Chain A
Amino acid sequence: MTETRILTRHFDRPGAHTLRGWRELGGYAAWEKAQGMEPAAIVEEVKKSNLRGLGGAGFPTGTKWSFIPRDHRGPVYLVVNADEGEPGTFKDRYLLERTPHALIEGMLITARAIRAALGFVYIRGEYVEPWRRFSAAVREAYDAGILGRGLDVVVHRGAGAYICGEETGLISSLEGRKGWPKLKPPFPAVKGAFGAPTIVNNVETLCHVPHVIAGGAEWFASLGTRTQGGTRIFSVSGRVRRPGIYEAPVSITLRRLVYDLAGGVTGTGRLKAVVPGGSSAPILRADEIDVTMDVDGLRAAGSMAGSAGVIVMDESVSIPEALMVVARFYAHESCGQCTPCRESTGWIYRMVRRIVEGRGRKEDLDTILDVARRGAGTTICAFYDGAVGPYISYIEKFRDEFEALIPR
């Protein structure tokens, strides 16, 4: 089993991040081609390719683009979500550093498709090196006349807040406010940044667009499953022999990813559990990893593809302790706008910590499950549902480990 390298094909080429290097590798050819296509034809091609958003929600990309109201007069914005923050995910960091022009090319094609003349790239504040690399590429593209003739790009630095990865929180932040998510509808495609129709896409999603245009929708779709085309970059970390990024068709199984690509399990060498799609994805037991990694495959398995951040745990890992760490994260990152999210994330973290510290009570586990479920689906954004996934799955699947910590 080997990788299928499309996005990552040139990652090891030393000059691939420069305009000259990128051109030598055939860069901007897809943009040339797209300039001869009608915007509607680009949207159609992306729809047919079955490209789905790779930032977390897995929404069909071409369909999202077509939500911009047809009769809209006035500006439309393209916003690139480079706020990578989902625990266990690190692919966008590589894309920004290694092949920044791939993202610029994807932005050019996408902007043409949605008729945007201004694009923002929101890069998490901690990503200083990726920000420098990407900004340098933007300057090169301006100097070469690739940008500034129909599309302007503003590189925007965040300032440390996981919730700004959520698209409406990101828009609030881009507008110079705290990153509070907004109720949908209206969806950003109708009323987004600065009140204008806005398409928010993940870095990796947009880096795929040139390949869809160059290789054609049919080829792209044929790489994946019936409902999701192409490859994606899996970030693999935790107890594996070769942690790192691996690009593979979305139809790869979790087992192959962990054992064939990442080299298998370290620690005791025996697998206990895997988180397949960033920390918000419900955990899978060792006997649940013969599942394909596409959006629908993981949904059917009761988890989610999310950001494709794969975190591997061997038998020596304490699941209650892992949940304590995850729960601390959600308690810290809740933006505090919705009562169930603000209250439950803090409260559940304290409960799990109490159990891990040996001060739990018999009824605590059911109380946590009950509290977690009650708030789910009622909040402004999907952050809270992303916290509930781990709370419930860790406890339901490894209940005996939690019970063993509770004094009789």
Chain B
Amino acid sequence: MTVNDDEMLELLGRALRTVEPVPDHLIHAARGAWAWRTIDEELAELVFDSALESSGVRSEDTARQLTFRSPGVEIEVMVVEGGGRRIVGQLVPAQEVTVELTGDDGAVEERRTDRLGRFTFDHASAGQVRLTVHGESGAVSTEWTVL
């Protein structure tokens, strides 16, 4: 009559999987992520995100800051809210190159950085995005990140 702990968990797991299976659209999205493998580009990893530093306290006034790092270039990004989401960034070291912003719907926007390596995207969409820097020595893409 009594079930042991493992059996109880097994039963709960079965119940949860029965009533809340992984939604089809997420399986579909997971399969589709295949198309976004980074093969030729170098990957710039997210090494700092002010959203993870703040001790759980949401600060409304401060812009979120992120740093992506690859061996060749560092991409500093600030997300500014208010009247649309603006992404303001700078490449370190500074370089005049093309920067792309890709949305998870595949939409791509392009900007040319200025002499100081700065770039701005106005009205960035919600959801996952990634930045690609087309430098002299090839392309560097950031990790996909929800901004």
Q: Do A and B come from one complex?
A: no
